Amino acid sequence: MSKRECMNVKVDAEVVRRAKVVAAAQRVLLSDYVSKLLRPLIEADLARVAAGLIGSEPTANGPLEEDRRPRAAG
């Protein structure tokens, strides 16, 4: 396993209080508990973001050309 790197993140206090209770009941570190919960969600979102970027070429002017087209009213 690679060296662990930790970062601070602001999270709603009530969520943290509840997560502390669960982590303590499971006898795991709060950081491990939260990381375990978030990792699969973030990996799935990252895969969707990457899939949306494949084959897209950004323009020098900013957003992709297709993103600037007017959208049909629906």
Q: 74 or 27, which is more confident?
A: 27
Q: What pTM value is reported for the model?
A: 0.63
In sequence order, what are the residues at sequence separation of 6 or more whose Cβ sits closer than 8 angstroms to the Cβ of residue 19? 30, 33, 34
Nearest to 52 by CA among 63, 61, 62: 63
Residue 59 phi, psi dihedral angles, 5° rounding: -95, 165
Residue in the block written with tokens 């508990």: 33
**Per-residue confidence (pLDDT) for residue 43, from 0 to 100:** 95
Give the pLDDT confidence of 6-63 residue by residue, as tens digits.
Answer: 899 999 999 999 999 999 999 999 999 999 999 999 999 999 899 888 756 555 555 5
Nearest to 40 by CA among 48, 29, 30, 51: 48
**Per-residue confidence (pLDDT) for residue 1, from 0 to 100:** 42
